[in-house]
Chain A
Amino acid sequence: MIRKIYDWIDERVDITPIWRDIADHEVPEHVNPAHHFSAFVYCFGGLTFFVTVIQILSGMFLTMYYVPDIENAWNSVFYLQQEVAHGQIVRGMHHWGASVVIVMLFLHTLRVFFQGAYKKPRELNWVVGVLIFFVMLGLGLTGYLLPWDNKAYFATQVTIDIAESVPYIGDYLKTLLAGDPEIVGAQTLTRFFAIHVFFLPAALFGLLAAHFIMIRRQGISGPL
């Protein structure tokens, strides 16, 4: 049945080459942990992506209950975690995944750094990777405020103070982030929500696409 559906589509739009380009390729021996156990270090990039997919999915579902409003944000998080079936699991995935993704990203970066895999012709992919790292830190930072509890509020207070300490443009940066020159409040929460849920994920998708296209074009770096 599935075969028939596949063939029906393939006959019309020729999807087999697309599939081949995306996924149908040999894993080189020096990258395959089945050949050399130490090759597990090559898994960290894929694990980062795997956790990122979990973050995207769990985040999408969290927005079914969450509201970015100073009077209801905390209550909505409390409700989805205490009252909704499996709410604790879904929020737990998003909460812990946020930390795991940074750890995996860091391990992946260490592997690329110590193997010298960033060298020519892969410099540009290193640059894109660093941008992904910044976007991930931004996602962690903006997501931290959303539960609107004491920890979130005061952590953001500190974040805004740090932004304010930037020379010359600090005051504008602070207002731009917080939405108000003095208050961390209603407009800060909606801004952080918009950045967390729309702006940074959009940037992340673009950067990830560039990262993956480049690794397919250039191939994985050779053995040490």
Chain B
Amino acid sequence: MSQDKKNQVSRRQFLNYTLTGVGGFMAAGMLAPMVRFAIDPVLQPKAQGDYVSTGKSVDELTSEPQRVDFTIRQVDAWYESDVSKVAWVYKQEDGSILALSPTCTHLGCFVGWNDNENYPNMFYCPCHDGLYEKSGKNVPGTPPTAPLAAFEHDVKDGILYLGKAIPREEA
């Protein structure tokens, strides 16, 4: 074995590198499927919001928010179920429809329209006195930090269809 050559890899070093390499490869081979398995939900494509019929005729809508109940088919992994949803729907001044989610943006309680005599014509959350204007905009100084989410909507044959609730940033 010649000692004078530079960059000589000793037998010990060579074996160390090889063992580390093989060991690393084996560890990666073991861990890769497990990690991919664990993060699978994050890598699933975002579910496209299908529009669901509410059975509510658009002609019945007024400028006063109405409670509209509808049902969506929810797929939770190996469970499929029908989930009831609620929207507060009304016609805005320009005639367009606004369908607000009743979920308080503070901690997720159910927000009611005009159901507290101290706060007429407002959305009121009974959990922590959260308030929203008719447009869904949160009233500053009350717990919510964002306006009520608005459902995507569509009208087919005069019937209101609702999609996903889209969160809205504070204007």
- Using a CB–CB cutoff of 8 Å, the interface residues on chain A facing chain B are 70-71, 154, 157-158, 161, 172, 175-176, 178-183, 185-187
Contacts and interface: CB of A to CB of B under 8 A. Distances in A.
B77 A187 contact: yes
Nearest to B83: A183
A70 B107 contact: no
Interface string B22-44: 00000000000000001101101
Interface of B: 38-39, 41-42, 44, 46-47, 74, 76-79, 107-108
- If over half of B's interface residues share one DSSP class (helix, strand or loop), that class is named, otherwise mixed; here it is loop
B42 A176 contact: yes
Contact of A187 (B39, B41, B47): B41
A183 B77 CA distance: 10
B41 A185 contact: no
Nearest to B76: A185
A180 B41 CA distance: 6
A172 B41 CA distance: 9
Q: Name which of B41, B44, B47, B78 has the most chain A CB atoms within 10 A of its CB.
A: B41
Given A175-B41, A175-B42, A187 B107 contact: no
Contacts, number: 38
A180 B39 CA distance: 11
B67 to A, nearest CB: 22
7 contacts: A70-B76, A158-B107, A176-B41, A181-B44, A181-B47, A183-B74, A187-B76
A175 B43 CA distance: 9
B54 to A, nearest CB: 19
A160 to B, nearest CB: 10
A66 to B, nearest CB: 19
A180 B76 CA distance: 8
B77 to A, nearest CB: 5
A138 B47 CA distance: 30
A190 B42 CA distance: 16
Contacts of A178: 41
Contacts of A154: 108
B79 A70 contact: yes
A186 B46 CA distance: 18
Contacts of B74: 183
A178 B46 CA distance: 15
A84 B90 CA distance: 54
B46 A181 contact: yes
Contacts of B38: 176
B42 A172 contact: yes
Given A180-B76, A186-B78, A186-B79, 12 more contacts: A70-B76, A71-B79, A161-B108, A172-B42, A175-B42, A176-B38, A176-B42, A180-B77, A183-B76, A185-B77, A185-B79, A187-B77
